[in-house]
Amino acid sequence: MARPFTPKIVTANALLEGDVVYLTEDNRWSRSHSDAELLEDEAHATLRLLEAERQQNVIVGAYLADAKAGPDGPEPVHFRESFRSRGPSNYRHGKQAHTGNR
């Protein structure tokens, strides 16, 4: 028996910088997980992934990641995606550079 579809987002890495990026509803790539388009229909999710994969001049490694609706937009469901959304683990780089943690 097939598992029921769960909500997803399209995520990838920016080709030049390597940052984790998320596909938004208006076809932009954002570095903020909460900006991602939450895809609740399997056919639409597949279509959005195919559209993302055609953008090889902008991103690399696009895939569908599980997500859930949150008060400020989609939220990660799995640890891996939560970790990716925070940026590099080295505080002097990426998204964590502005947290004040060193």
Q: Is residue 101 part of a domain?
A: no
Question: Helix (H, G, I), strand (E, B), or coil: what is residue 49?
Answer: helix
* pTM > 0.85: yes or no: no
Q: What is the per-residue pLDDT across 16-34, written as a single tens digit (0 to 9) for each?
A: 988 999 999 999 999 999 9
Report the largest interatomic distance among the alpha carbons of the chain, rounded to a whole angstrom.
48
Tokens matching residue 17: 């910088």
The values of phi and psi at residue 4, to 5°, are -65, 150
Q: What is the per-residue pLDDT across 34-56, written as a single tens digit (0 to 9) for each?
A: 999 999 999 999 999 999 999 99
Q: Is residue 94 part of a domain?
A: no
Domain span holding position 56: 8-66+73-89
Which residue in the block uniquely carries the two structure tokens 């001049």?
Answer: 57
Number of domain units in the chain: 1
Spatial strand order in the sheet of 20-23: 29-30, 20-23, 8-14, 59-70, 73-76
Q: Is residue 15 part of a domain?
A: yes
